[in-house]
Structure 1
Amino acid sequence: MDRPFSTAFSTVVEQTVPYDPHPTPDPGPVRVGLVGAGPWARTMHARMLAAGPETALAAVWARRPEAARETAEPYGAVVAASFEELLDRCEAVAFAVPPSVQAELAVRAARAGVPMLLEKPLGPDLDAARRVADAVSEYGVVTQLVLTKRYHPATREFLRRAGEFEVIGARSCYLHGAFRAGELATPWRLEQGALLDLGPHLLDLLDMAVGPIVSVRGSGDPRRWSELTCEHADGAVSQASLSGSVGLDRARTRVELYGPSGELTYDTAELDHEECWPVLRREFAAAVRSGAAGPLDAARGLRLQELIAMAAGGV
């Protein structure tokens, strides 16, 4: 005998959707505070964090209150009167400031137990970077690096393929003309040059695609052109050219791997960098909620800064 429709329906519901007497409330987007109100903070950080749905821009603090207001107002974020107030208003903090400022404030955020979205380089020099990484380790806070290209699907596919490719030599470059003029020609970039600013991106790709770098020799003037020779753990050798002072219409990042089976190439010329931001935002929010950092954390930032110091003759 057939059961009434209502009885059959309730049976299906009971079997497929178990009753939870204590449902976990949705925590909503991660409330992120932004430190900085310069061009990179406005064009990338604020816009990305406010876009959601995984994050929300909760507050902005900068040493110039008027700049902080201009950055916060389009997204309805609060302007914090101090760094401490910013930490009180957010669950996590993102940095878009010069390396020397980040290195100082990141240690304070770590002591407060606040997860951090960190820019590269971690600090202006290796000692400052170590202080950041040590504080992160001591206080057990979640961190993530804004190594932009690593969040693009094409980069991840290249690195996956590189893991299956025998490399005996590699050539690479990261070149643009942003240091010549414009908003990104900031004092620290003009003083330190491409090695500190662009070097982390390219060294990260070579370290992952070719194999762990064991030594780096650098030559040239970082404010004009730097040339790096890297030796890798398996005996492969790679070259890296860096400049922010050449007359190019758009930035050029290219990695060429060579081995017995031929060539494997990565080129950002046709990549849409807007594809990076949703991935970065999603993975940062997931790390904050889970309390577990991914591989692109402060320890990775310290590793890259060690390589930069090696290239500069600092170790």
Structure 2
Amino acid sequence: MRVGLFGTGPWARITHGPALAAHPDTELVGVWGRRPEAAAEVAGLFGAKAYEDADALIADVDAVAIALPPALQGPLAARAALAGRHLLLDKPVAATVEDAHAVADAVQRAGVASVVFFTLRFDAASAEWIERQAATGDWYTGRADWYGSVFGAGASPFADSPWRREKGGLWDVGPHALSVLLPVLGDVTEVRAARGAGDTTHLTLRHAGGASSTAVLTLTAPSAGAGVAIEFRGTHGVTTYPDGLSGPATESFAGAIEALTAAIASGTPHACDARFGARVTEILAAAEAALR
């Protein structure tokens, strides 16, 4: 599968690019970025061609992988889908509900496959743990807390990300929390939100089956307090996501590549497709409205 990479930031360099270049089922054809010099640099890292025209790269490939801020990803993804290109997207799929729906609608109209890269859903061990909790069922409550330290005391490759500074933990790590809570507890029917210190958002959610959940989402946790905590409680007892269960992000992204190729071959949408990505965006927007 010939793939074009859109984006030249840290995530493109340390995850998308290496995984696409190494995977036996993909050929990394080219790289496009908003700065031509950065596109040339990233393309050189992986033996690909730098493109100055996004549409020219779309025309030369079978699929696009996008590692751009959500406000840019949404319109570009819709354009690529309508051109008949399969989509390997990052979360959140767009910065607005309208743009997220446009992506999902374009995928459906063009009949292409799409996968949104929620890291834990494509890490083999983590995905198995999530699937096991979903199959167990009968949970009455859960929590999924993401304490990121992107803007904490420790150095992070994403510390210079303007969109993360603007949107905070709700939009950056909120999709990760939702990608775990929804398959286990069901769709969200009610959203409440409150602000904490820094960019911290506290969510309280009601789910379709009657269960409730909470999430603490931040990028400004002190490095000593950073981490992920996931837990479900029900008639079976308490289950907790094990520390250190997930592997490197490049291995998770390889799983997303395989999920996309399987969706193309079967014609069956993946559970983490653009439509699911749009639903996550709706919930994030509802939480943002609750904060206002």
Q: Structure 1-normalised TM-score?
A: 0.85
Per the alignment, in what secondary structure is the counterpart of residue 289 of structure 2?
A: coil
In the alignment, which of 124, 141, 144 is matched to residue 172 of structure 1?
144
Structure 1's unaligned 5+ residue stretches are 1-29
* Amino acid in structure 1 at the alignment position of 2:31: V
Match of 1:126 in 2: 97
Judge conservation of contact 2:20–2:254 (CA < 8 Å) in 1.
Answer: no
Judge conservation of contact 1:194–1:223 (CA < 8 Å) in 2.
Answer: no
Per the alignment, in what secondary structure is the counterpart of residue 158 of structure 2?
A: coil
Distance 1:111 1:165, change over 3 A: closer
Distance 1:293 1:251, change over 3 A: farther
Match of 2:279 in 1: 303
Judge conservation of contact 1:175–1:252 (CA < 8 Å) in 2.
Answer: yes
Match of 2:158 in 1: 184
User: Identity of paired residues, percent?
Assistant: 37
Distance 1:165 1:107, change over 3 A: closer
Per the alignment, in what secondary structure is the counterpart of residue 313 of structure 1?
A: helix
In the alignment, the residues of structure 2 paired with residue 263 and residue 121 of structure 1 have an alpha-carbon distance, to the nearest angstrom, of 30
Distance 1:91 1:206, change over 3 A: same
Answer yes or no: is 1:254 the counterpart of 2:233: no
Over the aligned positions, Cα root-mean-square deviation in angstroms equals 2.0
In the alignment, the residues of structure 1 paired with residue 190 and residue 13 of structure 2 have an alpha-carbon distance, to the nearest angstrom, of 37
1:10-68 CA deviation, whole Å, 9 max, x = no partner?
xxxxxxxxxxxxxxxxxxxx110000111111111011100010112111011111111
Aligned residue runs from structure 1 range 213-232, under 5 A: 213-220=188-195, 224-232=199-207
In the alignment, the residues of structure 2 paired with residue 42 and residue 36 of structure 1 have an alpha-carbon distance, to the nearest angstrom, of 9
Match of 2:259 in 1: 283
Match of 2:219 in 1: 244
In the alignment, which of 79, 98, 113 is matched to residue 108 of structure 1?
79
Aligned residue pair count: 286
Q: Structure 2-normalised TM-score?
A: 0.91
| Higher relative contact order (Cα pairs below 8 Å, separated by 6+ residues) | 2
Match of 1:73 in 2: 44
The structural deviation recorded for 1:122 is 1.3
In the alignment, the residues of structure 1 paired with residue 171 and residue 149 of structure 2 have an alpha-carbon distance, to the nearest angstrom, of 16
In the alignment, which of 201, 204, 208 is matched to residue 176 of structure 2?
201
Match of 1:159 in 2: 130
In the alignment, the residues of structure 1 paired with residue 7 and residue 169 of structure 2 have an alpha-carbon distance, to the nearest angstrom, of 21
Q: Which moved more, 1:93-102 or 1:250-259?
A: 250-259
Structure 2's unaligned 5+ residue stretches are none
1:280-305 CA deviation, whole Å, 9 max, x = no partner?
22222233344443111100001111
Judge conservation of contact 1:190–1:223 (CA < 8 Å) in 2.
Answer: no
In the alignment, the residues of structure 1 paired with residue 277 and residue 47 of structure 2 have an alpha-carbon distance, to the nearest angstrom, of 32
1:241-291 CA deviation, whole Å, 9 max, x = no partner?
111101125852221111122101114534323442332222222333444
In the alignment, the residues of structure 2 paired with residue 288 and residue 67 of structure 1 have an alpha-carbon distance, to the nearest angstrom, of 31
In the alignment, which of 21, 38, 41 is matched to residue 12 of structure 2?
41
